[in-house]
């Protein structure tokens, strides 16, 4: 069984795009741990709210992220 600890977040990309959704954090980790983890190059954001896209999944290259912040969705 896998551990799931989801956190609502907003991600701002280099091109100015802002996407709101949820990320899966492993137990006892923070958003900063997810961003700073060198073992993965991507952040998976699910249940997104972006333009007309609702509830979908996006995979974002960490090199494209300007900032990531927790939020209440």
Six-digit token string for 49: 């709210």
Parent domain of 18: 5-70
Mean pLDDT of the chain: 87
C-alpha–C-alpha distance, residues 72 and 41, integer Å: 25
Which pLDDT band holds residue 59 (cuts at 50, 70, 90)? very high
How much is the pLDDT for 57?
Answer: 92
Confidence of residue 27 (pLDDT cuts 50, 70, 90): low
Residue 41 belongs to domain with CATH number: 2.30.30.100
Q: Which pLDDT tens digit goes with each residue over 30-53?
A: 889 888 889 889 999 999 987 777
Number of residues that this document lists for the chain: 73
How many Cβ atoms are within 10 Å of 31's Cβ, its own excluded?
Answer: 16
- For range 59-71, the mean pLDDT: 95
Q: pTM for this structure? A: 0.80
Q: How many domains are contained in the chain?
A: 1
The H or E element that residue 33 is part of is helix 31-36
- CA R_g for the chain: 12
Summarize the chain as % helix, strand, coil (round to 5). 10, 50, 35
């Amino acid at each position: 069984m896998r551990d799931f600890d989801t956190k609502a977040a907003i991600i701002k990309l280099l091109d100015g795009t802002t996407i709101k959704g949820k990320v899966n954090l492993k137990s006892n980790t923070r958003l900063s741990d997810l961003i700073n983890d060198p073992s993965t190059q991507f952040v998976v954001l699910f249940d997104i709210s972006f333009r007309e896209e609702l509830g979908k999944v996006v995979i974002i290259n960490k090199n494209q992220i300007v900032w990531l912040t927790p939020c209440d969705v």
